[in-house]
Structure 1
Amino acid sequence: MSNSCEQCTGGTEPASNKNPSNTIWDKDYGIPVLCLMLLIFGIGLHYFEVSFFSPVIALLWFGTTYIIIGAPVLGRSAKLIAHGHIYNEFVLMSVATLGAFLIGSYAEGVAVMLFYVVGELFQESAVKKAKRSIEALLKIQVEEATVLENGNLVTLHPKKVQIGQTILVRQGQKIPLDGILQSEKTDLNTAALTGESLPVFKQKGELVYAGSINIGKPIEIRVTHHFEDTKLSKILKMVQDATSRKAKTQLLISRLAKVYTPIVFWLAVALVVLPLIFLGSDYIFETWFQRALIFLVISCPCALVISIPLGYFGGIGAGSRNGILFKGSNFLDLMSTVDTVVMDKTGTLTKGMFEVQNVHAVDIDKKLLLELTAMLEVNSTHPVAKAIVAYANIQKSTFTASHVEEISGHGLIGKVGEYTVLAGNAKLLDKYKVPYDSKIDSNGRTLVLIALNNTYAGYIEVADAVKEDAKEAVEGLYNLKIKEVIMLSGDQQAVVDKIAQTLGIKVAIGSLLPEEKLSQVAKLKNQGRVVAFVGDGINDAPVIAMADVGIAMGGLGSDAAVETADIVIQTDQPSKVATAIKISHVTKEIIWQNITLALGIKILVLLLGALGMATMWQAVIADVGVALLAILNAVRIQHLKF
């Protein structure tokens, strides 16, 4: 049995005694196949009453087969008993099979041990398969980086490359570190990071991530992050942490197994002892001892204990293949209970890539207004500010900005030349009591209002396109019976309403400061809603942390949002939120199917065994058969399309 199951049943062996080379789940199936052939041949000899197959020969035949297949289990059982760990599956199987030999049921004893070992092999194989898509991520880090130093190419481990150095990535190679593309353009395969199969086009000056594969010509990249700080390294750490965060169902089953095992052990003992008290001279030790052995074989909680984490591994793996990173099975579990999804607008439902559409000036030259605004906005990292700076082409400007202050949720104020410049939303102008034509608030466009020396000077109109799958994302959530999809934004209400109408969102609230977004989510939680919040910016990090399930857009999102989130959408596609909910529902459904299957059949056959209505062979089928059915059901998650 795997360590996880061993711990659940209370049979953890000291680390010093663990020797992987001696484990019963070795990949080599040769010994089990040999022992199966010996078992079948022995049963045939006994059935046809072959003359030389005497009771002594039968004992030697089946006994040798038993030792070949069961020695590792017996050895592990002995070590565990020596360390005071009695209540575990190894001891249960050892007692049950040795007891079968004591009462002359040689073939049954071998069969129980053989099928137990085969079951363990299947279980370990299934676990490895479930983890494979997760572990594949852990192998995509690059071990070498080609660094350009004084015109020479030097090969270093990425850990030794410093920020600011330039690396060369040839065609077909993986990018070892995050950085800014210095070459004119290239196409990247980002499937390992995002699950997106289509190549991504990158131009000079854009950020590229470690783990992406260069499918264009050789490119040069200026490194911006140390090896341990790359987006890939952070994703890998989150993946490694994910398997250690257990869902409530897992924790419940783990606690149950620790109580369950000693209970069934002593019930088996009682099954031998109590009939002696009540039956007196009619008591037949062999009959009740055999029932107790059958009871022990049936009671092994393998199916229950292994199929639960296996189901969650499958769910996390399915998410990984779809570009969704669940940071733990607890969040996978919680996602299935979400009834309200709250989404940020910019960068979540829209692309967050703004372009200037129009400059409207009042009593001032348009070019001057644009230049003054751009010189102020160059001090901000907001997507709107970047769009204005890119459009204005201020490289030859004679102005300089000073005393710049960014007011969260409002905009910027600062000194540019002889002007005090305000650039932001209507709240900023209201804050500084600057009058303007309020009719422009209702035009449904994203505007940056500008004031010079406390006088309204015009506005710059910018546009942010809705993501291609945004409407599909909203429809998908409603199709999953989500009670309400809500959009929150710092943009003007008219802009927010226009996008909400396009996407089919019924509740959309604009003109919100970051702390007001927090208040909105807190209000929903106080109503008893289970809230998932989806965002991407630094300002979204507190709301992501407050929500029952915080979801971050991991491709373009800020590090703060990604690190705070419980789930990361690596493809930046809002439609993946619905996919995450689907995966969580299917995972939970399969896990509870396994719990019902394992407990239901085991309780039924335990009763039949205690009443003498189940044979050792039926006990084997009940134990191994149920385990295999549960495993196959759990593995099914990995083959489903979402």
Structure 2
Amino acid sequence: MENHRENNSRDIAVETPEPTIKVGKRQTEQEFVADDGCGCCTPPPPKKNNSAGAKKEKKDSYVLTVLSLLLLLGGIVLDWQDVSWFEGYIRLAVFGLAYVLVGWKVIWYAGRSIARGDVFSEFFLMTIATFGAFYLGEFAEGVAVMLFYVIGEHFQESAVARSRRSIKELIDNRPEEVQLIRNGQAITVNPRDVKVGEVIRIRAGEKVALDGTLLSEEASFNTAALTGESRPDRKTKGEKVLAGMINLDKVAELRVTSLFEDSTLSGILKLVEQAAGRKAKTQQFISKFAKVYTPIIVFLALSLTFLPYFFVENYVFNEWLYRALVFLVISCPCALVVSIPLGYFGGIGAASRNGILFKGASFLDSMAGIDTVVMDKTGTLTEGVFQVQEVQPNRISEAQLLRVAAALESHSSHPVAKAVVAYAGNIYAGDEVKEVEEIAGHGLKGKVNGKEVLVGNAKLLQKFNISYDSSLDSKEEGLLLVAIDKVYAGYLSIADKVKEDAAAAIEQLHQLGVKTTVMLSGDKDSIVQKVARELKIDKAYGGLLPQDKVSHFEALQQDGKKIAFVGDGINDAPVIALADVGIAMGGLGSDAAIETADVVIQTDQPAKIATAIRLGKKTKQIVWQNIALAFGVKILVLSLGAFGIASLWEAVFADVGVALLAILNAIRIQRMKF
């Protein structure tokens, strides 16, 4: 049992509203797509367009690309057959038309970029490289460079759109209408028009549009959209039902507890959207690198064209210009600045399917390097649902002990208090309770029927110099001690259940290379040590007040460890904020913990901590694979191009081909199972 008063926010596990995930202003759809940071690979955002218009524009672009490809292939065949009439202006017209069909937008964007002061964009590189090829009479190669560049852009746009859709399909499928009960009649309205306190009806098979409490006696729901688990969740009257759940068996009615835009599902969607805009360090580095790298490449290409004049005998301008054009085409950083953000975006999408929400790509990187995991106990490793096991009075009757304890506890929202009240029933009805005071980390003090009553842990009685049976200190069970008018009156034993996957979670963490697992808890130390032994946790500290948790955590940080902290209560928020990666249990967790955390586990399963680390490691692995692939191939072909060995055809592969391979590798993570 967690220290009785350490966290009074966990009443959420019993019957209070689920937390709403609060995030900032929703990003635009353009921002939702992975931002490459340099603007060189994605055209400037077009003006707002309706869906039909956007689809038509995309279709027209594909048609022009196909026509250009047909003209290029036709021209190459005619060149190969050495057709007599296919020369001069006719040859230029065929290849020129093929070039214009796909190149006009690139040239336009190059001009726009230069006008904005961004001279060294990818559009500029493609334009001068292809113009140079036409100048040299290499029409087919000039068209090929532009055509395959545009085809690569189509693939990139498709990959990003697919990533975006995969996430939105998972969580942005909120119902467009809901049945509202007004004056005994069911009317169909937009869920945005429903107010808090109104009643809605959910038919079998329908998705819940708004958070609410169940008014029907019972109902079964599929919670996969929120938790990643499709196992039916049986709810009874008064329990919380969240937007995104699917009613499985019969008509149910809910009383709405939050507006549409404040629902749990809306919060998750906003959280994932915001995550796409928060860059990892690798991503930030590549964006900055591209801004420096591209102008350097342009100046190197100029040097490759003109400097040999001073050092090479029989210098031929066109020969060295061709080498410089190859150099320029190969140099485009597209594979890096598109595939890397896409890799992180894919990681965020894969995490959301597993019931894990990363608030930014940077936390995927951080999770990959975690070597120490520190955890809270109640609500994190245990269910956080308490039950009274025993009532042991001292000098009074069992009924009297239970009555005064329940009367005072009825003024608390803590899960332990609710367990006592539930066990007592209405035994305390009519009792007068006054001057209730909550003493953080200790318990409650107040007056019941004129008598001063204390209910809490041993530290509470010690604080008021009340003697009690010292043998109770050695008991492993969680005890709630009671004193009446400064005299020890007995105790209630309270039990909490360890979560089913807690032991497996600790084992998986060790298998993933986590060197140390630590449990910090406000609960009685004997209970904490018992749970630690059961779960094979390396270190455990009990009897901690909120400030003690911070002190222990700071001591761990001084050892230079890379630490993740997992908690669910308001008292955990300071430690979550201090951690390299703060993780909150999103189902049972308090608003403060969820607000402060970098990662939110919607399923409340400890095993998802290991899943988050695996996701971080795999995402980082894919990102570095792309970096190695892009740099390796580019350096090789750049070197060959500088010595005149590689042609523009090899340059096309080094640029567009590598970009496509990197993109395919990046989206691979979305199909993986974790």
Give the distance between the partners of 1:388 and 1:173, measured in 2 at CA: 37
Q: How does 1:33-182 map to 2 (within 5 A)?
A: 33-137=66-170, 139-182=172-215
TM-score (norm 2): 0.91
Match of 1:338 in 2: 370
CA deviations on 1:566-589 (whole Å, 9 max, x unpaired) are 000000000000000000001111
Give the distance between the partners of 1:12 and 1:69, measured in 2 at CA: 15
Once the 2 structures are TM-superposed, how far is the Cα of residue 229 of structure 1 from its aligned partner? 2.9
Match of 1:30 in 2: 63
Q: Secondary structure at the match of 1:494?
A: helix
Q: Does 1:586 align with 2:618?
A: yes
Q: How does 1:220-619 map to 2 (within 5 A)?
A: 220-279=253-312, 282-394=314-426, 397-619=429-651
Give the distance between the partners of 2:649 and 2:43, measured in 1 at CA: 30
Unaligned runs of 5+ in 2: 1-29
Instruction: Return closer, same or farther for 1:503/1:41 CA change in 2, 3 Å cut-off.
Output: same
Give the distance between the partners of 2:341 and 2:661, measured in 1 at CA: 15
CA deviations on 1:345-377 (whole Å, 9 max, x unpaired) are 000000001111111111111122112111111
CA contact (8 A) 1:11 1:80 kept: no
CA contact (8 A) 2:435 2:446 kept: yes
Give the distance between the partners of 2:111 and 2:54, measured in 1 at CA: 14
CA contact (8 A) 1:24 1:72 kept: no
TM-score (norm 1): 0.95
CA contact (8 A) 1:25 1:121 kept: no
Letter in 2 for 1:487: M
Q: Secondary structure at the match of 2:380?
A: coil
Give the distance between the partners of 1:13 and 1:589, measured in 2 at CA: 28
Instruction: Return closer, same or farther for 1:134/1:491 CA change in 2, 3 Å cut-off.
Output: same
Once the 2 structures are TM-superposed, how far is the Cα of residue 50 of structure 1 from its aligned partner? 2.5
Instruction: Return closer, same or farther for 1:606/1:9 CA change in 2, 3 Å cut-off.
Output: farther
- Count of residue correspondences: 641
CA contact (8 A) 2:630 2:659 kept: yes
CA contact (8 A) 1:405 1:412 kept: yes
CA deviations on 1:430-480 (whole Å, 9 max, x unpaired) are 111111112122221111111111111111112111111000110010111
CA contact (8 A) 1:444 1:498 kept: yes
CA contact (8 A) 1:351 1:466 kept: yes
CA contact (8 A) 2:34 2:342 kept: no
Give the distance between the partners of 1:530 and 1:522, measured in 2 at CA: 12
CA contact (8 A) 2:204 2:248 kept: yes
CA deviations on 1:538-578 (whole Å, 9 max, x unpaired) are 21112111211110000111111111110000000000000
Give the distance between the partners of 1:273 and 1:500, measured in 2 at CA: 71
CA deviations on 1:20-49 (whole Å, 9 max, x unpaired) are 979999356333333223322221221121
CA contact (8 A) 1:6 1:88 kept: no
Instruction: Return closer, same or farther for 1:256/1:272 CA change in 2, 3 Å cut-off.
Output: same
Moved more, 556-565 or 152-161: 152-161
Give the distance between the partners of 1:200 and 1:572, measured in 2 at CA: 14
Match of 2:38 in 1: 8
Letter in 2 for 1:515: Q
CA contact (8 A) 1:268 1:293 kept: yes
CA contact (8 A) 1:352 1:383 kept: yes
Letter in 2 for 1:38: L
CA contact (8 A) 2:380 2:566 kept: yes
Q: Does 1:194 align with 2:227?
A: yes
Instruction: Return closer, same or farther for 1:205/1:23 CA change in 2, 3 Å cut-off.
Output: closer
Give the distance between the partners of 1:455 and 1:161, measured in 2 at CA: 54
Give the distance between the partners of 2:593 and 2:565, measured in 1 at CA: 11
Q: What is the root-mean-square deviation in Å for CA atoms of aligned residues?
A: 2.2
Q: Secondary structure at the match of 2:513?
A: coil
Instruction: Return closer, same or farther for 1:120/1:12 CA change in 2, 3 Å cut-off.
Output: closer
Letter in 1 for 2:251: P
Give the distance between the partners of 2:76 and 2:241, measured in 1 at CA: 65
Match of 2:4 in 1: none
CA deviations on 1:54-78 (whole Å, 9 max, x unpaired) are 3433222211111112222122223
Give the distance between the partners of 2:352 and 2:242, measured in 1 at CA: 18
Match of 1:217 in 2: 250
Moved more, 381-390 or 141-150: 141-150
Once the 2 structures are TM-superposed, how far is the Cα of residue 518 of structure 1 from its aligned partner? 1.0
Q: Secondary structure at the match of 2:120?
A: coil
CA deviations on 1:282-308 (whole Å, 9 max, x unpaired) are 221110111111111101110011111
Letter in 2 for 1:315: G
Instruction: Identify which of structures 1 and 2 has the higher relative contact order when contacts are C-alpha pairs closer than 8 Å and 6+ apart.
Output: 2
Letter in 1 for 2:619: T
Q: Secondary structure at the match of 2:491?
A: strand
Give the distance between the partners of 1:22 and 1:554, measured in 2 at CA: 37
CA contact (8 A) 1:299 1:606 kept: yes
CA contact (8 A) 2:406 2:428 kept: no
Give the distance between the partners of 1:7 and 1:434, measured in 2 at CA: 64
Once the 2 structures are TM-superposed, how far is the Cα of residue 529 of structure 1 from its aligned partner? 1.1
State the identity as a percent.
56
CA deviations on 1:246-277 (whole Å, 9 max, x unpaired) are 11111111100000111111111121121223
Once the 2 structures are TM-superposed, how far is the Cα of residue 195 of structure 1 from its aligned partner? 0.9
CA contact (8 A) 2:219 2:247 kept: yes
CA contact (8 A) 2:217 2:236 kept: yes
CA contact (8 A) 1:24 1:120 kept: no
Q: Secondary structure at the match of 1:487?
A: strand
Q: Secondary structure at the match of 2:58?
A: coil
Match of 2:25 in 1: none
